Structure 1
Amino acid sequence: MKFLYILILFFCSNCDTNNVKQKYDILSLIYGDLAKPIKPALPFQMMKEKNGDWYFKTEKDSLNFSNFKNKIESDPIIVAISTIQNNWQQWLSKEHIQKDIPTGFEQLYEKFKKTYQYKKGETITLSNIKKERQQDSIIPFHDSLIRPDRKDYDQFYMLISFSKVVFNEEQNKAIVLVAMSRSKLDGVSGIYFLRKENGIWKQEKYIGLFIS
C-alpha cells in the first residue's frame, strides 16, 4: 500500500513538472515573437527612386542606416512581465471570436474562458522564460513603474501580460491570452491557439482582440 502511495505521488510530481515545462515553452515562444525592438523605417531623405524601386542616394547613406539599424537591434531592452488577473469576458465572448476559433479547439476554449485568470499572488517565474536576445532584461511589472502623468513607459521598453496557459487533457493543444504595449497609447492584445507537433509547440492561430 505504501509503495502504491509513493508511486502515485511520483506520477503526479512528474505530471506537474511536465505541465510547468510546457507552460514555459509556450511563454518563451510568444515572448520571443514579441520582445523585439521596432525595426527602423528607411528615411525618405536618404532614398531615390529608379525604375520603380527605391535606393540609397549615396554609399554613406547606406552605411549610416546600416549602423543605425545594427545599433537598434543590438541595444538591450527591458521587458516588464505581468499576469492577467482582471475580467476579459466581454472580449472573450464576442461573437466574431467564437466564429474564428480553429477547428478542434472549441471545447478547450470553453475551459479557457473559465480558467484563464491568475489569482492575486500567483506569479510567473521570469527566469523560466527563455530569451533569444541575451542582452535584454526581464523584470516583474508593478504599478510604481508607471507614472500616472506620463503616457510613455520610462522604466522599461515593453510590457507583456500573460493569462494562464490552458491545456487540453492530451497536452497537445493550448490557449493563452496575451497583451503587449510599448506605451499607454500603443498596445495590442489577442488569443494564441497553439498545437504541439513532434514535441514542438507551434502557433495554430492568433485572434486579435483590440488595438489601442
Structure 2
Amino acid sequence: MSITVTYSATFGNYSQWDAADGLYTDNEQETDFVKEDGFLPFYNEHFEIADHGNNPGAFAGAEDPNPEVDLGFWGNFGTFSGTQYASEGEAPGLDLGFIVQAASGEYLNYTFFAGPTHTLYGEIGSITFGSGLSQDANGEYYFTEELVTIDGLDTIGLNGGLDANGEVIDRNDGNNDTHNIINGLKDGDASALWAAIDGNIGSEVYESAVAELLGVSVATETELELAA
C-alpha cells in the first residue's frame, strides 16, 4: 500500500513558480522540511488566511448520518460534516487552496462546541491542491486549475482522528492525524501532511521525480516535495 501523487498537465507552467524551470525553490524557510524544494514548501510560503473566523473553510457532499460526536443543539447552526472539506487562501494575487476528500464510504467531521471541542476527525482518502476553488451543480468542490493530487492516504494507517475505542482524539492530544493534517493546511503548514506521507511513496529515488511534472501518476519517495 502506498500513496500516488498526480500532477496536472499544467503543473509545470503554473504562474506562481519562482524558478525558471517551473519549480518553487527556497531553502531558507523555517519548516520541518527546511532543506527541501517543491510544492509543499511553496504551499507553506504562500498559503495564508488572515482570520479563520471569517474564512473557516467549508464542508460539502453527504453529511455523516452517524457521527461519533453528536452536535446536539449546535447542529442547528450549520453543517459541520461532509465527504469533502475545502479551503482557499488569501495571499495577494494567489487563490491557492486545497480540497480534502474523505475515504470511500467515510466522512469528515468537525465537533464545534461538542466535546472534544473544535476537533476534526474522519478518514482522509485524498487531498488536492489547486487554484480557483469552485462548486459544481451538486455543491461539491473542484478547482478550475488542479495542481497536485495525493491519493491513497487511507492506505497508510492514519488514525482518522479516532482512538482504538472509536472515540474522537482531542485536538490538544497531538495524536489526531486528521486534525493535525487539515488544521495544519488551514494554517499554511504542511508539515503534518509531510510527516504522514514521508516513507509511504514507494522506493524510487529523488531524481526520478523530475520526469513526473507534466501530469504523470507517480509513486516516488523523495518526491514528497511534490515537485522534485
Query: Normalization by structure 1: what TM-score?
Result: 0.28
Q: Which has the higher helix share?
A: 1
Q: Larger C-alpha radius of gyration, 1 or 2?
A: 1
